[in-house]
């Protein structure tokens, strides 16, 4: 009897060890609300054309997840067994991008549909885990089966396939049940998954907050255990993730989740060192800290239709770090600021132009306390500085957080005379550029949530979105169709 039992067990070292439903469990239209009419018509056309040429193709990832959660998807990604070169032969309006894993962008007017090939599992997934082994994925251009593709994705909720032929959802990993129970769970061994791609830890916290999910115990334990793996992550990918977080209106809650999961002990550790020393319950009481209060105010301003750039958020994080430099009497302020900020700039991989901008923002904070009406020409000259808008909002948010009557009055003086925001350069990490007035909005993306009409140009959402797609092809999981603006 024991022999028969062992005979029918899953093979050791196979993809079946990772999958909950190796054959794929199908949920038909009676069990879920997703219909073909809800899918972007161009994504549907792509799938029909792939089918016509004999290939398998599904909607995958965030689009399926969001529809099951009753949310409006940002976009829809397609997965297929056709290789990038085979896809290119079928579609003229496409380009192959990516280094770590090659994917195809099919271009339509005003939008991009991403098409990826089923990926295989890394070889180390079939071996016994080694504690000190470096599993960081640097190259990943190996194609596989739908089962392997599902097994190698990040979270179960992002590994569901929607088949437009019969409105069915194919689930290999238990993602459908996790969505029903509002749970965020890593596919397979979380220790291996996070060591393969450390950015998944940051994304786990982001998804949990934005989608209202609870991180399961095993995943949360693994995040705390492997937090220092984030030091191996690409700085460009991390900057892109931060910039997405800053646009969510819930930056404060995401950073609280990062604090509770010990991620801030690695990310921005210099900025949070004083707060962590002061407060033994730093994670649970994060929103009561100086940085927490500032981020709460920034989120509120965004919800009130203000526009806050990534530079403003970085400055809010670094305020405590430069406090000693700005409070010194005499000496060279700019040199002191550079000395205080350079270590964290180096770790973040901050571009030179953005370093200089943040230095100017901090160096100009004291200027906002001068509100003499007889210096109108000097004040007007100050307002024309390209960093003025960012510097003013940093001053205003600090004044509100500290509840200081004198600085609040100063902020009011400058705000009532603020007419038009200067044109800003690209934000840190490539977060977008200026948009000409009168430009047609991209209706296939989320609408811009920041900015008043009289504050000057908004960010070019299409440019920012394309930048994110390029970054996704270069280094991140191509199953991440979730934009944190959702």
Q: Give me the CATH number covering residue 170.
A: 3.30.460.10
Range of the domain at 86: 2-181
Catalytic residues, by residue number, are 75, 77, 154
Q: Same domain for 169 and 84?
A: yes
Average pLDDT over every residue of 73-82: 96
Q: Indicate whether 477 belongs to any domain.
A: no
Residues near 53 by Cβ (< 8 Å), separated by ≥ 6?
82, 90
Q: How far apart (Å, rounded) are the C-alpha atoms in residues 39 and 23? A: 25
Secondary-structure breakdown of the chain: helix, strand, coil percentages, each rounded to the nearest 5: 50, 10, 40
Q: Same domain for 279 and 151?
A: no
Q: Same domain for 401 and 289?
A: yes
- Residue 457 maps to which CATH number? 1.10.3090.10
Q: How far apart (Å, rounded) are the C-alpha atoms in residues 119 and 142? A: 6
Cβ atoms of 401 and 293 closer than 8 Å: yes
Asked if pLDDT for residue 473 goes beyond 50, the answer is no
pLDDT recorded at residue 376? 80
Q: Same domain for 375 and 278?
A: yes
Token pair 């290939």 in the structure block, residue: 55
Task: Of 197-206, 253-262, 400-409, 455-464, give the lowest mean pLDDT range.
Answer: 455-464
Average pLDDT over every residue of 181-193: 95
Average pLDDT over every residue of 389-401: 96
Q: Same domain for 18 and 121?
A: yes
pTM: 0.81
Cβ atoms of 466 and 112 closer than 8 Å: yes
pLDDT recorded at residue 326? 74
Asked if pLDDT for residue 453 goes beyond 50, the answer is no
Task: Of 66-80, 287-301, 373-387, 422-436, give the lowest mean pLDDT range.
Answer: 422-436
Q: Indicate whether 240 belongs to any domain.
A: no
Domain count, the chain: 2
Mean pLDDT taken over the chain: 83
């Amino acid at each position: 009897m024991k022999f028969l039992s062992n005979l029918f067990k899953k093979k050791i070292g196979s993809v079946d060890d990772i999958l909950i439903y190796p054959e794929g469990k199908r949920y038909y239209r009676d069990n879920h609300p997703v219909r073909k009419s809800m899918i972007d018509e161009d994504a549907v056309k792509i799938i029909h054309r792939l089918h016509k040429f004999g290939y398998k193709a599904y909607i995958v990832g965030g689009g399926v997840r969001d529809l099951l959660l009753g949310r409006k998807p940002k976009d829809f990604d397609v997965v297929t067994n056709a290789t990038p070169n085979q896809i290119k032969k079928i579609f003229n309006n496409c380009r192959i991008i990516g280094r770590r894993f090659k994917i195809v962008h099919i271009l339509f007017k005003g939008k991009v549909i991403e098409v990826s090939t089923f990926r295989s599992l890394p070889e180390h997934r079939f071996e016994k885990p080694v504690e000190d082994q470096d599993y960081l994925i640097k190259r990943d251009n190996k194609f596989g089966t739908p089962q392997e593709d599902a097994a190698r994705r990040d979270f179960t909720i992002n590994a569901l396939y929607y088949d437009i032929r019969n409105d069915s959802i194919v689930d290999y990993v238990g993602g459908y049940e996790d969505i029903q129970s509002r749970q965020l769970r890593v596919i397979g061994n979380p220790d291996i998954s996070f060591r393969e791609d450390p950015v998944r830890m940051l994304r786990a916290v982001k998804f949990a907050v934005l989608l209202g999910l609870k991180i399961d115990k095993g995943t949360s334990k693994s995040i705390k255990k492997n937090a220092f793996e984030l030091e191996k992550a690409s700085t460009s990918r991390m900057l892109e993730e931060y910039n997405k977080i800053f646009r969510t209106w819930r930056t404060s809650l995401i950073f609280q989740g990062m604090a509770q999961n010990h991620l801030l002990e690695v990310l921005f550790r210099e900025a949070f060192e004083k707060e962590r020393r002061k407060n033994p319950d730093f994670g649970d009481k994060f929103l009561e800290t100086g940085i927490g209060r500032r981020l709460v105010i920034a989120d509120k301003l965004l919800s009130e239709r203000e526009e806050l750039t990534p530079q403003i958020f970085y400055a809010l994080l670094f305020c405590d770090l430069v406090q000693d430099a700005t409070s010194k009497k005499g000496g060279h302020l700019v040199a002191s600021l550079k000395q205080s900020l350079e270590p964290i700039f180096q770790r973040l991989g901050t571009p030179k132009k953005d370093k200089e901008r943040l230095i100017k923002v901090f160096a100009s904070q004291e200027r906002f306390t001068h509100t003499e009406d007889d210096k109108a020409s000097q004040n007007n000259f100050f307002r024309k500085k390209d960093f003025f808008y960012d510097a003013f909002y940093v001053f205003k948010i600090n004044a509100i957080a500290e509840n200081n009557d004198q600085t609040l009055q100063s902020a009011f003086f400058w705000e009532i005379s603020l007419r038009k925001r200067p044109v800003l350069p690209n934000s840190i990490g490539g977060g977008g550029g200026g948009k000409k007035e009168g430009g047609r909005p991209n209706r296939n993306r989320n609408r811009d949530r920041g900015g008043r009409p009289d504050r000057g140009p908004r960010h070019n959402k299409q440019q920012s979105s394309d930048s994110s797609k390029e970054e996704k092809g270069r280094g991140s999981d191509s199953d991440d169709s979730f934009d944190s603006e959702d």
